[in-house]
Amino acid sequence: MPNSTAIPRDDASKLILLQHLDLNLPNYAAVLDISNDDLAQLKIGLDGFDYCLKALDAATNYNNALYAFKRALRDGPTNANVNPPSAPIFPTAPATALYADIFGFIGPLITRIKKHKNYTEAIGKALNIIATSGSSPDFSTLQPVISVDYQGGHPVLHWKSNGTDSLEIEADHGNGIFTLLTIQHATNYQDNTPLPAAGTAVVWRFRAIHRIRDQQVGHWSQILEVSVKG
């Protein structure tokens, strides 16, 4: 049904929905009989989920940096930067007590909104709670498409989640071997692997595959080759 409620499948889109509701639902609170307690619980859920995803990304990036550090110490190359990675900087935890099953609250809240006598399709669109029409993607055939730009000489990868939970990225930093670089819940990632020596250039290669519930789905992306200069 084009007017059915859909909670997004991937965490990045779930966070976007929470942010959108937190920003826009107060405008319709009186019309839809949304209480201050409802709005407060929505805000607490948003703050907790946002904190969790940011902390998870910080921990994952640090874990990947430690792995790259270990690999350089163990296997080289001899000119590799072997400085230990900086400790992760975690976001500040919410001061308010959190609660479990955020979307166990959000789902019934959206259902209540859509059953309200004052609800209209225009309100549903404004709150972004109307499911998009069309069939669900076939996860068995998904293939990520990754693009790149640069920040401070380091490649920044971009992709679309396509309804999945995360993206697993492997990299070859010039030694001809693909190894795990990161698993990201966001839809971009900056590769902060040390750049080559000043005045030299190296081709780094990247490939990626989608993940759902910690399992790979679909096919590996085409290999993206990126020229990196020191």
Q: Which domain holds residue 214?
A: 136-230
Q: Are residues 41 and 116 in the same domain?
A: yes
Mean pLDDT for all residues in the chain: 88
- pLDDT at position 224, please? 93
Mean pLDDT of 178-192: 91
**Tally of domains in the chain:** 2
Mean pLDDT of 1-29: 80
CATH number where 213 lies: 2.60.40.10
Q: Are residues 113 and 217 in the same domain?
A: no
Using the structure block, give the residue that is written with the tokens 């071997």: 177
pLDDT band at residue 164 using 50, 70 and 90 as cut-offs: confident
* Better pLDDT: 63 or 193: 193
- Tell me the C-alpha to C-alpha distance, in Å, between residue 84 and each of 76, 175, 197, 205: 14, 21, 18, 24
pLDDT band at residue 6 using 50, 70 and 90 as cut-offs: low
Q: Are residues 100 and 153 in the same domain?
A: no
What type of residue sits at position 134? G
* Better pLDDT: 84 or 97: 97
- pLDDT at position 2, please? 41
- pLDDT at position 133, please? 54
Indicate the residue among 115, 134, 153 that finishes a domain.
Answer: 134
Q: Are residues 165 and 126 in the same domain?
A: no
Q: Are residues 153 and 126 in the same domain?
A: no
Q: Are residues 9 and 49 in the same domain?
A: yes
* Better pLDDT: 163 or 120: 120
Q: Are residues 71 and 150 in the same domain?
A: no
